[in-house]
Chain A
Amino acid sequence: MTRGPGRWAVLSAFTVLAVVMLLPFVIVALNAVKSPAEYSSGGPLSLPHGLYLDGIVQFWQRVNFGQKLLNSLMISAAVAVLATLLSVLNAYALGIGRVRGRLWILVLFLLANTLPQEALVYPLYYIAKQVGLYDSRLAVVIIFTVIQAAFGTYLLSAVLGDFPKAIMEAAAIDGASRWRILWRVVVPISRPTLTVLMIFFFIWTWNEFFLPLVFLISNDTQTVPVALGVLQGDKMMDATMSSASSLLGIIPAVAFFLIFQRTLTRGVTVGAVK
């Protein structure tokens, strides 16, 4: 085993890699607060002389970023709640009720989750136009509720499959109806899992690009990733405004990561074992 200088060499190699991984974040942050003049004289590596926030403010106003944030928040929150609800109902029947054919139903749900969205998009687009839901946030909410719930059902059915029978029987003897047992017994006891699921659905929906790009075409309905993605390569953007737009895309994602860090790392690994 290496001792002394050897281990510091290993640590520096790992640190260098960490710096490389974080470099884009640092460079974006540095340049988002520079003025265009500063950028052209000092280049992307110079330290900013102070906080120049005009680039960020200009970009914010130009794309009405507040509205995009609100759209993303509303869509993701609605999907998180509705998809969790739908997963609970499905998993109650499959995991606890053990209805017949549940294995096939689960396989079907899992299949739907791995299906590429490209294979659904055109009919969905067509149907949405027919029923007047095209370019509405509601259409995106409905679609993602179902897609996320497909995974949620799969995961939650496994969790509820191990639900302690004694508690259920005790509640049934006390005369509680099945509906009451679901809300008064099963949901409260599974709350930790449901919270993880909800956070997952929120972040996954926030990160989605393909379907929102197709469905949300007007400025008032677009989400953050769609608004940024569509503007990419716009001739009107200079270096500082481009980095400002990158920064505005990064900040919410990093904020969610910091807020939900524990849940996420725990959840990522739970997902891997299932």
Chain B
Amino acid sequence: MNRSARRGYWLYLIPGAVLFLAVVIVPFLMNVAVSFTRWSGFGTPRWIGLANYERLLSDETFWASFRHNVALIVAMAIVPTLIGLVLAAALFDYIGKKFGARTASALRAAYYLPQVLPVAVAGVVWGWMLHPQYGALNEMLKAVGLGSLAENWLGDPDLALATVMAIMVWFQLGYPVVIFMAGLQRIDPALYEAAEIDGANWWRRFWHITVPQIRPETFVVLLTCTIAALKVFGPIFVLTRGGPGRSTIVPSYFSYLNFFEKANAGYGAAIATVLALIIVVITFLFLRVQERDT
């Protein structure tokens, strides 16, 4: 194709470019601009330079929100990836071989089912299950004689974050299992057969074949789940609204609070900008490591 023939294709980018500018680029730049101001959302924003960012640094709630984010990365990315690796490998290389592919895919579907729910609906389901007065979990514990373990799972500041973490593990687990099982299908079966003939047991095959072979998928799962954990909002809004106190607050909910409940748009924008920056940096680092690795 010569150059003039190519030039006409620009036309097809116009609708996308206009909409993209209006919905993503301009609002993002506006958000950054707002973060340098004090603004209640009405009237004229007042330029205050970096004051919002300075305030962030000494804001204990802001730091707490990032500590909770780290906890949620553990619950949403690291734990599901580790468990998912073992489950997928065992389903593929053990259950599938001993009990047939149907058993393996039925189990996979069971693990995956929570993933099909809107995350807010998953929160609604667990909110009911964990309700201190009529929730199913405490009733179940009493029914099996473990009533002493009944707790106000989401209402106790010492327990709430751990409870949210457990729910997120439940929610996320199916995603790595499905991805890893698909990834395992492209590994040459001869590798496993050769290892088996050499007398390698299941764990050795797992460590020396499955884990290294499935690295690309592991990277993608860790990256997408880490980003999801940094953005997490729905479950927090539905389950705890950041509470009790600030025991489960996360940056996205903290910025939402400042935007829509505290009429503190400038501060909310600063939190959102920092969050965006962290996500972009993490994505960049992941991609760099992945590139070097492959």
Using a CB–CB cutoff of 8 Å, the interface residues on chain A facing chain B are 1, 7, 10-11, 14-15, 17-18, 21-22, 24-25, 27-28, 31, 39, 43-45, 86, 89-90, 92-94, 96-100, 105, 109, 111-112, 114-127, 142-143, 145-147, 149-150, 153, 178, 182, 206-210, 213-214, 224-226, 228-229, 232-233, 238-239, 242-243, 245-246, 249-250, 253-254, 256-257, 265, 268-269, 272-273
- Asked if residues A209 and B234 are in contact (CB atoms below 8 Å), the reply is yes
Is A118's CB under 8 angstroms from B12's CB? no
A213 to B24, alpha carbons, bound, how many Å? Answer: 19
Pairs A–B under 8 Å by Cβ, sample size 18: A14-B107, A17-B87, A86-B15, A93-B9, A99-B6, A112-B25, A115-B279, A118-B255, A121-B272, A124-B23, A125-B259, A145-B19, A146-B20, A178-B8, A229-B121, A246-B128, A250-B125, A269-B179
Given A228-B120, A242-B131, residue A21 in contact with residue B259 (CB < 8 A)? no
What is the CB-to-nearest-CB distance from A68 to chain B, in angstroms, rounded to a whole number?
12
Is B280 in contact with A111, judged by CB distance below 8 angstroms?
yes
Give Cα A109 to B42, complex, Å: 32
Report which B residues bind A (CB closer than 8 A).
1, 6, 8-13, 15-16, 19-20, 22-28, 30-31, 34, 41, 87, 90-91, 94-95, 98-99, 103, 107, 110-111, 113-114, 116-121, 123-129, 131, 134-136, 139-140, 142-143, 170, 173-175, 178-179, 182-183, 201-202, 216-217, 220-221, 227, 230-231, 233-234, 237-239, 251-252, 255-256, 259-260, 265, 268-269, 271-273, 275-276, 279-280, 283
Q: Which among A28, A92, A225, A238 is the interface contact of B9 at CB below 8 angstroms? A: A92
Q: CB within 8 A of A146: which of B24, B103, B178?
A: B24
Given contacts A114-B283, A265-B178, contact A44 B136 (CB under 8 A): yes
B255 contacts across to A, CB distance below 8 A: 118
Interface contact A232-B143, CB-CB below 8 Å: no
In whole angstroms, how far apart are the Cα atoms of A112 and B27 in the complex? Answer: 11
Q: Given A17-B111, A112-B20, A232-B124, A120 and B31 touching (CB < 8 A)?
A: yes
Interfacial chain B residues near A229, Cβ < 8 Å = 120-121, 123-124, 234, 237-238
Task: Decide if A269 touches B20 in the complex (CB within 8 Å).
Answer: no
The reply to whether B99 and A11 contact each other, CB–CB distance below 8 Å, is: yes
Q: Are A119 and B273 in contact (CB under 8 A)?
A: yes
In the bound complex, residues from chain A placing their C-beta under 8 Å from that of B26 are 123
Q: Select one of A22, A89, A97, A210 contacting B234, CB under 8 A.
A: A210
Chain B at the A interface: SS class: helix
Find out whether the CB atom of B125 lies under 8 angstroms from the CB atom of A28: yes
Q: 15 new A-B pairs (CB below 8 Å) besides A89-B12, A229-B121, A249-B121?
A: A21-B111, A21-B173, A24-B126, A24-B170, A90-B16, A99-B9, A114-B227, A142-B23, A146-B23, A178-B8, A182-B12, A224-B121, A238-B134, A256-B116, A269-B182
Contact of A93 among B13, B91, B174, B201 (CB under 8 A): B13
**In the docked arrangement, what's the CA distance between A271 and B242, Å?**
32
Q: Given A115-B28, A146-B23, A250-B125, are A268 and B276 also a contact pair (CB < 8 Å)?
A: no
- Whether the Cβ atoms of B139 and A116 lie closer than 8 Å is no
Which of A89, A92, A242, A272 sits near B128, CB closer than 8 Å?
A: A242
Smallest distance from the beta carbon of A74 to chain B beta carbons, Å?
16
